[in-house]
Structure formats: structure tokens, C-alpha cells
Amino acid sequence: MVYSFDKDKTGYFLKIEGDLDLYSSYNLKEDIKAIFLKEPENIIIDLSHLNYIDSAGIGFLIDIKKNATQNNKLCDFKNIPSDILKLFHSIRVDVILQIK
């Protein structure tokens, strides 16, 4: 997995590429925790190049959403690949992540 952060006046933009699984989500989770503990901001997460996600990756996305909500910040998911979106719908994660 490869990821990149950008920040502008509206908040953070996170782009995730490749597989979001148990092994890759751990390091990303630690990086995001360090950023959000210092200064909670809105975050937009681009999943357009996400190839695979497992339960740990889904848990990671739920944690980000929960953290943002607790800090009264926006967390939005963009460009979700159709196969991953189908998975989210089938296990009702789309409701938790508030994906339209």
C-alpha cells in the first residue's frame, strides 16, 4: 500500500493506493493518530486506487470516521471502486461510514 497526505485550508486529503489490510493499515493508523492528536481537521479520503480491503482495513476507516465525528470534523470518502462499494453495501458499512 502507498498513501499520501496533503493539507490545505479545509483540512487533510488522504489518498490510499493498493491493499488496505491488517499489515498496511497499522502504519497508516499510527501516522493518522499522530496527526489528529495534534490538530483534528476535516479529512477527505480518496479510495480510487484501492485494490483490496479486509476487515482490519474496514475497521481502520471506521476508526477515522469515529475520530472525526467525535471532534466535530468532516470525514468523507471519495471515488470508491465499485467492487469495494458493493462490499460496503453488503455488510452495511456504507451506513456506518455515511457513504451516499
Count up the domains in the chain and report the number.
Answer: 1
As separate numbers, helices (DSSP H) first and strands (DSSP E) second, the chain gives 4, 4
Cα–Cα distances (Å) from 9 to 2, 43, 45, 71, 74, in that order, read 24, 11, 16, 17, 13
Domain housing 56: 2-96
Residue located via cell numbers 497499522: 26
Query: What tens digit of pLDDT does each residue of 68-84 get?
Result: 999 899 999 999 999 99
Give the CATH number of the domain where residue 85 resides.
3.30.750.24
Query: What tens digit of pLDDT does each residue of 23-51 get?
Result: 888 888 888 888 777 777 899 999 999 99
For strands 2-8 and 43-53, give the pairing: unpaired
Query: What tens digit of pLDDT does each residue of 4-21 get?
Result: 989 988 899 999 999 999
Residue located via cell numbers 453495501: 89
pTM exceeding the 0.75 threshold for the entire prediction? yes
